[in-house]
A = this chain, B = another copy of it.
């Protein structure tokens, strides 16, 4: 059989050849401001490769992006990866100091930045002397508004005008790296995940399966998950591979902007975290608008309760597909299918990813259904070792430890049941904070809830309940637990905070909570008081 390298440039080549007039639309505050077909887009991205080569960048070197979901950012993806550079996506919601750690480890040579993020970029450049070139995205031919020292500045358009030229794409080993993304770092130093062309290609084919993301050439995709989160969940690859029109919303993800954009562009499939879709649902309820073209909403990033799913399905008039993933998985792990009976949990793995549940010692549970276990995964798009790490992170059978506790029902649907490291050992037995959080979090007055451990002389550890809520007596919430968890699981100490500390990904920062509690910044009251 023919040699045919699994490199991601083939996705855009396919789109340009077979769906050349299917559009990439860029928007600002809900209004389309750029649109071009895959054919001209492919030509532009390819000429950008020529320009990057003219700047002296070489196969295997890293270029960083600090940008929103825009056509310029997507062009950077393909312009870099197509010629064998590694596209390192940075999260603009982190601080310059946090980003600098990543940029230094990655040894990025060029930074591409959305025009409104130039101030953050300036801070970053000051800390990262390795960056030689700054490319300004989304600003047309904007001149530099900041002092850049000896860093060479280009607007993307100026770079095209000066150096744009056709370039050879692909043709290298499919195991070469294509992308780099750091985990959120809520649990210590951020860890880089280095994606390869092969891992991205196979992740894409896995996503396109009819029981997974299942994009088609008739679909219109709204990509509301940031492209700096684990390849935008792989959609920047899957959309051109399927010939799907793609709508990139820019930085504004509020309900009003997105609802307008979805209606105007006839979006059929929308992808993002549930907070975003709750915003759209609020907007629709307030205005009475409907989104007639919308068929499916893919929700990920955190567990979606049945109540949220049902509300979204009712208000948006679309099927909700729940999912579970991780940066280390490229990122999709499991997904509920687009059709058929509504599934519980976060769906099943599609072909190409294998899951297993083990006990705390890593021994595979003899019964994989209906039992809580430690979740391990294997697949062509799963990390084996972190960037610049000496050691791999796999068990003897080659599985990656997700750090999650999970359960699989008889139909094969996965439910994440908390983080293994968050488990609380009290009197020699385990308490799972996630179960308590799930019950308390269902109360309408509660905005955020976290259960953490405090040291206890008698029991080893005891749980503390911390909430951000309306009202001022959190103790009453404990009654919700009666009869639902064992009595000794119920926290005896409760604290209310004005604002729950969140990591850049939106997850509650439990390390911060533990530190705040330790230094007395969180004061608890007796829950029985």
User: Is A214's CB within 8 Å of the partner chain B?
Assistant: yes
A394 CA to B2 CA, complexed, in Å: 9
Taken residue by residue from 224 to 247, chain A's Cβ proximity to chain B (1 for < 8 Å, 0 otherwise) reads as: 000000000000000001110000
Q: In the assembled complex, how far is the CB of residue A372 from the closest CB belonging to chain B, in whole angstroms?
A: 19
Residue among A196, A210, A378 with the highest chain B CB neighbour number at 10 A = A210
A218 and B380 in contact, given A11-B351, A351-B11 (Cβ under 8 angstroms): no
Q: In the assembled complex, how far is the CB of residue A396 from the closest CB belonging to chain B, in whole angstroms?
A: 14
User: Is A381's CB within 8 Å of the partner chain B?
Assistant: yes
Residue among A1, A241, A383 with the highest chain B CB neighbour number at 10 A = A1
Are B205 and A352 touching (Cβ within 8 A)?
yes
Closest to A1 in B: B199
Inside 8 A of A491's CB, which chain B residues have their CB?
none
Are B196 and A378 touching (Cβ within 8 A)?
no
Q: In the assembled complex, how far is the CB of residue A326 from the closest CB belonging to chain B, in whole angstroms?
A: 13
Taken residue by residue from 1 to 43, chain A's Cβ proximity to chain B (1 for < 8 Å, 0 otherwise) reads as: 1111010001101100111000000000000000000000000
Are B198 and A400 touching (Cβ within 8 A)?
no
Q: In the assembled complex, how far is the CB of residue A6 from the closest CB belonging to chain B, in whole angstroms?
A: 7
A190 CA to B382 CA, complexed, in Å: 43
Are A337 and B18 touching (Cβ within 8 A)?
no
Inside 8 A of A199's CB, which chain B residues have their CB?
1
A519 CA to B13 CA, complexed, in Å: 51
Inside 8 A of A10's CB, which chain B residues have their CB?
351-352
A398 CA to B14 CA, complexed, in Å: 17
Inside 8 A of A340's CB, which chain B residues have their CB?
216-218
Q: In the assembled complex, how far is the CB of residue A409 from the closest CB belonging to chain B, in whole angstroms?
A: 12
Inside 8 A of A217's CB, which chain B residues have their CB?
211, 337, 340, 348
A209 and B2 in contact, given A337-B216, A348-B18 (Cβ under 8 angstroms): no
Q: In the assembled complex, how far is the CB of residue A342 from the closest CB belonging to chain B, in whole angstroms?
A: 13
Are A19 and B412 touching (Cβ within 8 A)?
yes
A377 CA to B398 CA, complexed, in Å: 37
A218 CA to B19 CA, complexed, in Å: 30
User: Is A215's CB within 8 Å of the partner chain B?
Assistant: yes
User: Is A108's CB within 8 Å of the partner chain B?
Assistant: no
User: Is A84's CB within 8 Å of the partner chain B?
Assistant: no
Taken residue by residue from 337 to 373, chain A's Cβ proximity to chain B (1 for < 8 Å, 0 otherwise) reads as: 1011000000011011010000000000000000000
Inside 8 A of A242's CB, which chain B residues have their CB?
209-211, 351
Inside 8 A of A206's CB, which chain B residues have their CB?
205
A382 CA to B1 CA, complexed, in Å: 5
Closest to A208 in B: B209
Are B3 and A384 touching (Cβ within 8 A)?
yes
User: Is A418's CB within 8 Å of the partner chain B?
Assistant: no
User: Is A195's CB within 8 Å of the partner chain B?
Assistant: yes
User: Is A379's CB within 8 Å of the partner chain B?
Assistant: yes
Q: In the assembled complex, how far is the CB of residue A350 from the closest CB belonging to chain B, in whole angstroms?
A: 8
A398 and B2 in contact, given A205-B352, A209-B242 (Cβ under 8 angstroms): yes
A383 and B14 in contact, given A210-B209, A210-B214, A216-B210 (Cβ under 8 angstroms): no
Taken residue by residue from 143 to 172, chain A's Cβ proximity to chain B (1 for < 8 Å, 0 otherwise) reads as: 000000000000000000000000000000
A214 CA to B218 CA, complexed, in Å: 15
Inside 8 A of A339's CB, which chain B residues have their CB?
216, 218
Inside 8 A of A17's CB, which chain B residues have their CB?
354
Are B205 and A210 touching (Cβ within 8 A)?
no
A398 CA to B18 CA, complexed, in Å: 20
A216 CA to B337 CA, complexed, in Å: 9
Inside 8 A of A384's CB, which chain B residues have their CB?
1-3
Inside 8 A of A382's CB, which chain B residues have their CB?
1-2, 4
Inside 8 A of A18's CB, which chain B residues have their CB?
348-349, 412
Inside 8 A of A195's CB, which chain B residues have their CB?
1
Inside 8 A of A19's CB, which chain B residues have their CB?
412
Q: In the assembled complex, how far is the CB of residue A383 from the closest CB belonging to chain B, in whole angstroms?
A: 6
Closest to A15 in B: B351
Per the 8 Å Cβ criterion, residues 391-406 of A in contact with B are 394, 398, 400
Residue A379 contacts which of B4, B202, B210, B398 (CB distance < 8 angstroms)? B4
Inside 8 A of A204's CB, which chain B residues have their CB?
351
Closest to A211 in B: B216
**Residues on A close to B: CB < 8 A?**
1-4, 6, 10-11, 13-14, 17-19, 194-196, 198-199, 202, 204-206, 208-211, 214-218, 241-243, 330, 337, 339-340, 348-349, 351-352, 354, 378-384, 394, 398, 400, 412
User: What are 17 A-B residue pairs whose CB atoms fall within 8 Å in the complex?
Assistant: A1-B194, A1-B195, A1-B199, A1-B380, A2-B378, A2-B380, A2-B383, A4-B202, A4-B382, A6-B202, A205-B351, A208-B209, A208-B210, A209-B210, A211-B217, A216-B339, A218-B337
